[in-house]
Structure 1
Amino acid sequence: MILVAKATKRLSLSGLIKASGARIFGLFAMTAMLLTGCGFGPEIIKISGTKMGTNYSVTVVADQPAPDNLEELIEAELNRVDQSMSTYKSDSEISQFNALAVNKELGVSTDFYKVLKVAEVVWAASGGAFEPTVAPLVDLWGFGPTRRKDELPDPDVIADHLLGLGLDAIKLRREGDRQFVSKTRPVQLDLSAVAKGYAVDLVADLLEMNALPDYLVEVGGEMRVSGSNPDGQPWRLAIETPTLVSQVQEVLALSGGAVATSGDYRNYFEYEGARYSHTLDPRSGYPINHGLASVTVLSDTCAEADAWATALMVMGTHEGMQLANQLGLSVYMISRVKSGFEISISETFDGIEKLSLEDGKSTEI
């Protein structure tokens, strides 16, 4: 039995990412492979579908009965995230916050609060390279709910939008078991660079609460694994080259942790011969313009991996790898050079178990 769970980072959600045109998970896919060898033993449960405008898949190696309504439970977790953080739903929590007046408070869910806390940590540690208040710029460049015009944004308008950015304008407050959020400036949030990873974490936590510790969860290319695959071996996760005809660049063997990838080659537009990536640098207001083609981050949670993949993609190879080593992040970068691609890995990534392409049974996909 071979399972290939494949997706590309920044697919547009119909809430978090639009089905086409906005937020295509730019870059290569992360591919999960269950190698041949199914026979007698634990029950192999596979659940897949479409939520939040992207695909998801869950594989569970169950040595005890799983809930009969496991699929419904999984969809409920994904629906929670979509209803909370979709900028395409007028009644979502994030849409309510974006319409909120300055210095007014909004009561929010625990999910919304937790995602904002993750965003806050990565925003501060990355020096603003990760900027969740980038929503107006995303719309201005045509990668959000607003349809892109057949022209580039005016530089003066970009400069005006930059003045309105900054997660420091968002204030979080807890009172008992309730959470509140407010803004000191008229900022707007876009949490799509964290929310998909957070959705992966919710599903993974759901499985663990139901005594199902051997699993692979994937939502739109972001993954979290635990335990063993159906062959009793670590899960095989493949990093693909950022090319139109994807090929496996590296195969990882993981028994736990989360993996997220960000890149620039699947979601972009061209104007007068120039290419404009969907990944925006909130420090300049313009799409990134450097050699880094993709970055993969390994972390304990997928929300953190997701956010850091975006931050490092903005920063580029040199600045991003310097920070990754400083913070002890496990990072794998693929950069464009004249001769093709160049691989860079952080010090902690060097300790991750890797397989030869033959051992991983990887093929062109």
Structure 2
Amino acid sequence: MRAPSADNAIADLGGETMGTTWRVRLSASRTRPLRPLHDGIQARLDAVVAQMSPWEPDSDISRYNRAPADTWHALPPAFLIVLQAALEIATISDGAFDPTLGPLVDLWGFGPDGAHPRVPGPAALDAVRPHCGWRRLELDASGTRLRQPGGLRLDLSAIAKGFGVDVVTAYLCAAGIDGALVEVGGELRGLGRRPDGERWRVLVEPIADADEAPCVLPLDGCAVATSGDGWHRFEHDGRRYSHSIDSRSGAPVADAAAAVTVVAGDAMRADAWSTALTVLGPEAGFALAARRELAVRFAQRGSDGPVYRATPAFERLVAE
């Protein structure tokens, strides 16, 4: 890593993507034009959307989802990178992360075809669940084509934002940027150092209305993502429904943690693991995270206030 330049200053860039916003804080020469960097970032995020957004009818993922049964589809290299990571985490988590839950996401009102959040009846769930299942995903021998077995609908929303962060980080590196903090919809990755040589530091989002000391994470070449029922939820008949669908029940996670924060080497995996561990829950999820030496913190609402539980890897990061 090159030493920060005294000529550098922090600059802020931002825009919109994937139904949310992006922001980059970067260390750059005071004389460097920023518009080309902004446009380059936006173009790369637009390319991710064009491949992986189910909200875009002409995206690669939408065309695959509409395709007839028993057809094979060539996928762009970036799409394959995300799909392979999704299958890796689906395998390790035994399906807690499942990239084929598009029909269930829509049924509960969280997806592009969902009018609004709602609680479907048992018959509707029974009709949709056979169209899901990550084990139905089949790549050909070359690993470049994906088979549509019939009615399967991919949804990469729980991993694509993180991948977008990684794409932007790689672009900035190639553009000669030595330090940046990249954020897309709450998923973050740190690159290099600030102009003063200090590491980028971020606050781990607290439980809403909790009176607590902030948890600060240094992002020194790593990424952080958070999932839980603090985002995209609704209430019905006094029960809280999170946006994270449990493939085992076909329903949103019951009693989901308020927040599951994951730190990883790349934002794509941090993003996906935060969803997988939310689905697994504070006991099974924490046990898996500890076994795999993942840096994870579970935040739950207790009767006497917030309850936090962090893996040793997460505690070491906070202590730095």
Q: Same fold (TM over 0.5)?
A: yes
1:1-365 map, 5 Å = 41-62=7-28, 69-148=36-115, 152-173=119-140, 175=142, 179-243=144-208, 249-290=214-255, 292-354=257-319
State the identity as a percent.
37
CA apart distance, 1:286: 1.2
CA apart distance, 1:73: 0.7
Residues 207 and 306, structure 2, Cα contact 8 Å, conserved in 1: no
Tell me, which stretches of 5 or more residues in structure 1 are unaligned?
1-38, 356-365
CA apart distance, 1:66: 5.2
Q: Distance in 1 between matches of 2:199 and 2:158?
A: 27
Q: Distance in 1 between matches of 2:231 and 2:117?
A: 19
Q: Distance in 1 between matches of 2:213 and 2:46?
A: 32
Q: Distance in 1 between matches of 2:214 and 2:256?
A: 18
CA apart distance, 1:353: 3.7
Residues 240 and 248, structure 1, Cα contact 8 Å, conserved in 2: no
Q: Distance in 2 between matches of 1:80 and 1:53?
A: 14
Aligned CA-pair RMSD? 2.2
Higher relative contact order (CA 8 A, sep 6+): 1
Q: C-alpha deviations, 1:148-196, integer Å up to 9, x for none?
A: 4685211132133223221111122365xx9221133421111000000
Residues 228 and 259, structure 2, Cα contact 8 Å, conserved in 1: yes
Q: Distance in 2 between matches of 1:324 and 1:144?
A: 28
Partner residue in 2 for 1:16:
none
- SS of the equivalent of 2:114 reads coil
User: Which 10-residue stretch deviates more, 188-197 or 143-152?
Assistant: 143-152
Q: Distance in 1 between matches of 2:173 and 2:56?
A: 30
Residues 257 and 300, structure 1, Cα contact 8 Å, conserved in 2: yes
Identify, as 1 or 2, the structure richer in helix: 2
Residues 263 and 294, structure 1, Cα contact 8 Å, conserved in 2: yes
Normalised by the size of structure 1, how large is the TM-score? 0.81
Q: Distance in 2 between matches of 1:162 and 1:318?
A: 26
C-alpha change, 1:149 and 1:199, in structure 2 (3 Å) is closer
Residues 140 and 148, structure 1, Cα contact 8 Å, conserved in 2: no
Normalised by the size of structure 2, how large is the TM-score? 0.92
Q: Distance in 1 between matches of 2:211 and 2:128?
A: 36
Q: C-alpha deviations, 1:189-243, integer Å up to 9, x for none?
A: 1100000000000000011112212111000100010221233211111012121
Partner residue in 2 for 1:29:
none
C-alpha change, 1:291 and 1:89, in structure 2 (3 Å) is closer
Aligned residue type for 1:281? D
Residues 88 and 145, structure 1, Cα contact 8 Å, conserved in 2: yes
C-alpha change, 1:344 and 1:76, in structure 2 (3 Å) is same
Q: Distance in 2 between matches of 1:49 and 1:308?
A: 26
Residues 215 and 318, structure 2, Cα contact 8 Å, conserved in 1: no
C-alpha change, 1:94 and 1:300, in structure 2 (3 Å) is same
Tell me, which stretches of 5 or more residues in structure 2 are unaligned?
none
Partner residue in 2 for 1:3:
none
C-alpha change, 1:160 and 1:351, in structure 2 (3 Å) is same
Residues 66 and 212, structure 1, Cα contact 8 Å, conserved in 2: no
User: Which 10-residue stretch deviates more, 146-155 or 212-221?
Assistant: 146-155
